[in-house]
Amino acid sequence: MPGTFEPLPGGGAAVALDDVEISIIRSLAVQLLELIGPGPAEDAAADPLAELFAEGPSEPPSDPVLRRLFPDAYGGPDQPQGDGREAAERRSHSAEFRRYTENDLRAGKRENALAVVHSLNELSPQGEGGAVLKLSPQESRRWLGALNDLRLAIGSRLEIDAEDEADELYTLPDEDPRKPMVMAYLWLGGLQETLISTLLP
């Protein structure tokens, strides 16, 4: 089980993590939470109808990681823009879509990252520094979402645009300053892949 998720009888997944791995995942999840930003203020109006129709931002985030986590719904910077009218329509549709969806997307990503932090905080140490993390099916899906977001964030910092570009990361020399981030990216990919396999019928 070390380093890989395995299915639990009756559903869910388990993985053995040592103290260093627990610390790395927790730290990355906390950084992701800081990047996504806080939720609605505590003193915000408690009108559920108002919250339902609350508008989000209409412009893409300036941070490249946030742009990867919250991409434009109607094309991106690499897509051919077409004539001026087509480009203007695409920007208008993207802004409208973002205005009414980004708040919910941020809330979902925030909840996933928080679920990761909470489940790690609740772990009981076992043996020589480490613990076995056991997740319910619902917790597994939250972890899967958070792992995906963490890999997107790290991939953006490493300027990985496609999965085949990640193959080059295996050949980086140890002295390359990107090496620790690359190792985290590849390790999280392994966790993500084995967690997906536990959710398949």
Q: Structural domain boundaries of the chain? A: 6-39+107-199
The yes-or-no verdict on residue 120 having pLDDT over 60 is yes
- What tens digit of pLDDT does each residue of 17-65 get? 999 999 999 999 999 999 998 865 544 555 555 555 566 666 778 888 9
pLDDT at position 154 is: 95
Residues 6+ apart with CB under 8 A from 15: 1, 3, 4, 5, 6, 132, 133, 191, 194, 195
Single-letter code of the amino acid located at 191: L
d(CA 56, CA 21): 35
pTM above 0.75, yes or no: yes
- Tell me, rounded to whole angstroms, the distance of Cα 53 from its chain centroid: 25
- Looking at residues 107-118, what average pLDDT do you find? 96
* Better pLDDT: 36 or 161: 36
d(CA 12, CA 116): 15
Residue 112's alpha-carbon distances to 23, 121, 178, in angstroms, are 17, 14, 26
pLDDT at position 54 is: 60
The yes-or-no verdict on residue 155 having pLDDT over 50 is yes
The yes-or-no verdict on residue 140 having pLDDT over 90 is yes
pLDDT at position 43 is: 44
